[in-house]
Amino acid sequence: MRNLHWRIAVAVVVWAAGCSDGGPADAGPPDVGPSAETCRVAVEHLTEQLVPGERCISVMRLSYETRQPLGVSISCGPLGAIDEDPAREQAQADTSFGAIPAAVVDAGAAFHVFYLSPIDFGGVSVVSATTGVTLFGGGIVWAGRGDITFPGTWLPAETLVPGCGTGPAPSGDEIVVSSEVGPNADRLREALDTAWSTSLSTAIEGHGEVHGAHAMVYPRTVGVFDPDDADWVVFFESGP
């Protein structure tokens, strides 16, 4: 009986020590994700930007290294193809990058992408080939740091609530601007999945059919790639 009491006393001491050292009893409630109300508000705010009956392209920025959402811009317009020459003119006017000698980057049929390789200063621009809407522009600087030139404003990252998404992202293609950066299939998949896991995907699926997903690394610098300064720019196209 004395041995039994001793074993019980030891068990109580061990249990108490585990609790005081942050063991299971100190772990607190599990992370259950955002509430339904939080998701509803975020999705509703994003849905307001998606114009019914128009083709919309949602452009999300994420940190290259951590894939943390940084902001989103949604541009909509009626279907209407635009050719390379007018797309160049528009990109130049909106972003400062697009006119010759900017090179054409292969991005399939969805976008016109122009890359001005910097001697000192250059940049990249993206125009929707299906709506003619300018989507993105940013400077790329040799041994420096370029800045985003278009769009001028972004919806804040707070609208992109993780855990409010609809499931795995659709398969997508990488737009490779700089050979120093890509292609990188694993990181592409991670970027698309992270973007799709937010409230944006729920808003997009409520807008209509998803027509495509693309992602581009915006390096900001030329020469030695600096992942701390780079962004992923993810494009989701939806609507009629």
Condensed to tens digits (0 to 9), the pLDDT of residues 26-68 reads 554 455 789 999 999 999 999 999 999 999 999 999 999 999 9
Q: Of 133, 126, 152, 136, nearest to 76 (Cα)?
A: 133
Q: Give me the pLDDT at residue 3, please.
A: 41
Q: Which residue has the tokens 């293609």?
A: 173
End-to-end CA distance of the chain: 79
d(CA 175, CA 213): 11
DSSP structure string for 110-158: TEEEEEE--SSEEEEEEEETTT--EEEEEEEEETS---EEE-S--EEGG
The secondary structure of residue 231, as a DSSP letter, is E
Q: Which of 33-37, 118-122, 158-162 has the highest mean pLDDT?
A: 158-162
140/54 Cα distance (integer angstroms): 32
The one-character DSSP state at 57 is E
The pLDDT mean for the chain works out to: 86
Label residue 132 by pLDDT band (50, 70, 90).
very high
Count how many Cα atoms sit within 13 Å of the Cα of residue 77 in the half-sphere of its side chain: 15
Q: Cα(71)–Cα(156) distance, rounded to whole angstroms?
A: 5
For residue 233, give the 3-state DSSP assignment.
strand
Report residue 216's pLDDT band, with 50, 70 and 90 as the boundaries.
very high
Share of the chain above pLDDT 70, in %: 85
Contact 224, 187 (CB under 8 A): no
One-character DSSP codes across 58-114: EEEEEETTT--EEEEEEEEE------HHHHHHHHHHHHS--STTPEEEP-TTTEEEE
Instruction: Give the whole-angstrom CA distance, residue 113 versus residue 177.
Output: 9
Residue 120: is its pLDDT beyond 50? yes
Bridge partners (DSSP) of residue 64 are none
Distance CA 70, CA 112 (A): 24
pLDDT at 31: 58
* 8-state DSSP, 191: H
Question: Residue 221 — pLDDT band, cuts 50, 70, 90?
Answer: confident
Tell me the average pLDDT across 180-202: 88
CA triplet 72, 73, 78: central angle to 5 degrees? 145
Q: What pLDDT, on the 0 to 100 scale, is given for residue 7?
A: 37
